[in-house]
Structure 1
Amino acid sequence: MVTVRSFLAVAAMFDWELCQMDVSNAFLHGGLLEEVYMTMPLGYSGKGEPVQDIPVDKSKSKADYSLFTKKDEEQFTAVLVYVDDLLITDNSVTHISLLKEQLKTHFHMKDLGTVSYFLGLEVSKSKQGIFVSQQKYTMDLLKENGVLNCKPYKLPLDPNTNLQATIGTPLADPEAYRRLIGKLIYLIITRPDICYSVQLLSQFMQTPTSVHHQAAKHLLRYLLLAPAQGILLSSNSAVELKAFCDSDWASCPMTRRSTTGYCILLGDSPISWKSKKKNVVPRSSAEAEYRCMALTCCEITWMVSLLKDLSLNDLSHVQLFCDNQAALYI
């Protein structure tokens, strides 16, 4: 999904055309490495000719194998593939039409026109850029859990709630809690504001209790405050990456592990974020912050490679912001 957001952010930045196509019966087009032998159907008469592979001239991104690009001095085309769904962008409407016709000669495809709904993401384009949200997904989630008529909350979690594994009564049906958290995880795609809360709640999926379920319901009522909230991929963004990272120290009351988080922006467009509890116990706040910076640097390195494949070759040095002086000196 970071690739999807980056793809849309670059298209918004250069005001490229965006369209979507769907491959009918995509599972029939998979590549086989094994030798397959077939018998002719009854009633067939004639000489069968062997089917040969057709070589395809393509440039696959090394950063993400589902991204294909073609570029020369004046033209740039990018195709992002997810199973049977294709996102296509190009700096020329004519080139997109030619590509569509070429694809249709090899596969049975549906032209879905300008992208508006992709993998549950609602995409709308304006002069300000591309706005991505999951309003329908959010409303269905709120309706399913019966909170549409409840009073909204202004914070995703109650600050006074102390979530631990042993607090509360074990749920009779833990599967319901797990399904809810799974759906909230998918909502993080366009809602970085709930990233930390969902990461915290997902730690109790093994044996959820009534306290954990109540905290999850609190988060749902926070979503009720603005179900159409999403991210704006600005058309006026500068061609630069900025990253912000932070980490607490020994915040988990059960394991004393730290929680790290980062957010990376392309100009003014947020394209990558994460909140995660570390699998080691740092011995100082400086070590916790340094590990967080190292994790963010790994993501930055990968993103620079991805954005270069999306024609952003003029990326300057990436600024990484951290509020710990000891970690900065290291």
Structure 2
Amino acid sequence: MSAIDSCDEPKTFRQASLNHEWREAMKKEIKALEQNGTWTLEALPKNKRATDSKWVYKIKYKQMESCKVGYYSYLVGRGCERNWIIHQLDVNNAFLHGDLEEEVYMKIPDGFAKQGEARVCRLRKSIYGLKQASRNWYQKFTKALVELEFRQSKADYSLFIYKSERSYVAALIYVDYVVIVGNDSVKIQHTKDQLDEMFRIKDMGPLKYFLGIEVSRTKEGLVLSQRKYTLDILRDSGLEGCKPSSFPLEQNLKLGKGEGEDKVDSSQYRRLVGRLLYLQATRPDITYAVNILSQFVTDPRQNHMDAATRVLRYLKSTPGQGILLPKEGGMNLLSYCDADWLGCPLSRKSRTGYLLSLEGAPISWKSKKQSVVSRSSAEAEYRAMATTVSEVIWARWMLSELEAKQGEPTVLFRDNQAARHIAISKQSSLP
């Protein structure tokens, strides 16, 4: 963790150009683009406009293990529970493998245009930032996995599964990152070799730092956290030395529009809320608070920023808190839901909150305002139950794809007797 915390990524080309290592990295990237035939230098036609280009700097860590929570944890949790191999792959220049059919022109990247150069880059292949790039890359990579006898999951199109009598291998793709899990080391290595021939992949070994989320291996299982990401938020907000708080929000806090409060920088507030939204990936404890704060991104006031600061003070007290995916135990799915009737003082709408867990490990959660105004607490609770059941059905479908089919009905816990009676009466009326 100390190695990761000590590394800073440049935000601009000017900052990166001051560092020898970043200059060399940019030279290698341009060389790779040219060797791949990504563009040709041509004069810009009169009726065309060249798009801007921008360097994006990212450090890829190799000494931390991690994965994406949510439906990623289904896959990783399954691999952990059965002691399967869990590896990570990185496709070099992924988008450059997608063929570009449209006519697109781009300005030469900063630092590599000759003085007086009037030509521009006509793109021959997809590149990061183009609207077509993700689609072209996804289609090509999907075709490659299907040729390797993987089947695309119907529950999630980014999941690919290979299954035989003795082997089970699952590959989950996220842009140019691949998490591969299975019980057959030979098939996994064969898949790596074949993908390397087609796309030049980088084998990262056991699952590593992935999308800002870390995983620590313990004898109990895998611990997922976003410690570095949390510390970065505190550092950028200037609250590294703030007084910690025990709770993310004050009890019974009802935030309004705050029309009598001073206005704050809306771009700063939106950026903070956006980062907190991603932090929910491993922090279900702040989900409700972030849902409240996200309602005021259009016109944030001082009372909203104060509430957001309270969340940051809470994070200061628990920067490394995360989720444990246990190694021992079964794969029994449980669900919990609740609703706060007329919880929003502005719209009088209720909020739905639910959490799904596998043997105590949270894998899916949400806090969201309901689309209509409920006329009773029973109606609000019943709507929350309906939303939770939809997620449960999808979760059971996903688990069956991952060889963890649920043999018993999934129990749904809630605390409203009226909603319970409605559900029982509906069930008894079925043929």
Match of 1:26 in 2: 94
Deviates more, 1:242-251 or 1:304-313: 304-313
Provide the rounded CA distance (Å) in 2 between the counterparts of 1:172 and 1:13.
Answer: 48
Provide the rounded CA distance (Å) in 2 between the counterparts of 1:260 and 1:211.
Answer: 24
For 2:322, give the aligned amino acid.
Answer: G
Change (3 A) 1:161 1:307: same
SS at match of 1:7: helix
For 1:77, give the aligned amino acid.
Answer: V
Match of 1:107 in 2: 199
- Deviation of 1:307 (Å): 1.1
Instruction: List structure 1 segments (4+ residues) > 6 angstroms apart after TM superposition.
Output: 31-34
For 2:357, give the aligned amino acid.
Answer: L
Provide the rounded CA distance (Å) in 1 between the counterparts of 2:360 and 2:346.
Answer: 37
Q: 1:183-223 CA deviation, whole Å, 9 max, x = no partner? A: 00000000000000000000111100000001101100000
- Deviation of 1:169 (Å): 2.5
Change (3 A) 1:237 1:110: same
Provide the rounded CA distance (Å) in 2 between the counterparts of 1:33 and 1:309.
Answer: 35
- Deviation of 1:32 (Å): 7.1
1:229 paired to 2:321:
yes
Match of 1:171 in 2: 263
Contact 2:258/2:303, CA 8 A, preserved across alignment: no
What is the identity percentage for the equivalent residue pairs of Structure 1 and Structure 2? 46
Match of 1:50 in 2: none
- Deviation of 1:31 (Å): 6.9
Contact 1:128/1:236, CA 8 A, preserved across alignment: yes
Q: 1:15-58 CA deviation, whole Å, 9 max, x = no partner? A: 21111000111113337799xxxxxxxxxxxxxxxxxx977132
TM-score (norm 1): 0.90
Provide the rounded CA distance (Å) in 1 between the counterparts of 2:262 and 2:407.
Answer: 51
1:4 paired to 2:72:
yes
Q: How does 1:1-330 map to 2 (within 5 A)?
A: 1-30=69-98, 56=147, 57-159=149-251, 161-330=253-422
Provide the rounded CA distance (Å) in 2 between the counterparts of 1:186 and 1:74.
Answer: 38
Change (3 A) 1:29 1:156: same
Deviates more, 1:156-165 or 1:16-25: 156-165
Deviates more, 1:203-212 or 1:104-113: 104-113
Provide the rounded CA distance (Å) in 1 between the counterparts of 2:324 and 2:365.
Answer: 15
Contact 2:230/2:319, CA 8 A, preserved across alignment: yes
Q: 1:243-271 CA deviation, whole Å, 9 max, x = no partner? A: 00001111211111101100000112110
- Deviation of 1:316 (Å): 2.1
Contact 2:215/2:222, CA 8 A, preserved across alignment: yes
Provide the rounded CA distance (Å) in 2 between the counterparts of 1:142 and 1:205.
Answer: 19
- Deviation of 1:160 (Å): 5.5
SS at match of 2:317: coil
Contact 1:237/1:269, CA 8 A, preserved across alignment: no
Contact 1:19/1:88, CA 8 A, preserved across alignment: yes
Change (3 A) 1:253 1:16: same
For 2:346, give the aligned amino acid.
Answer: M
SS at match of 1:63: coil
Change (3 A) 1:168 1:219: farther
Provide the rounded CA distance (Å) in 1 between the counterparts of 2:372 and 2:407.
Answer: 34
Deviates more, 1:96-105 or 1:279-288: 96-105
Match of 2:40 in 1: none
For 1:268, give the aligned amino acid.
Answer: G
Match of 1:41 in 2: none
For 1:123, give the aligned amino acid.
Answer: V
Instruction: Could you tell me which runs of 5 or more consecutive residues in structure 2 were left unpaired when the two chains were aligned.
Output: 1-68, 103-142, 423-431
- Deviation of 1:4 (Å): 1.0
- Deviation of 1:168 (Å): 4.7
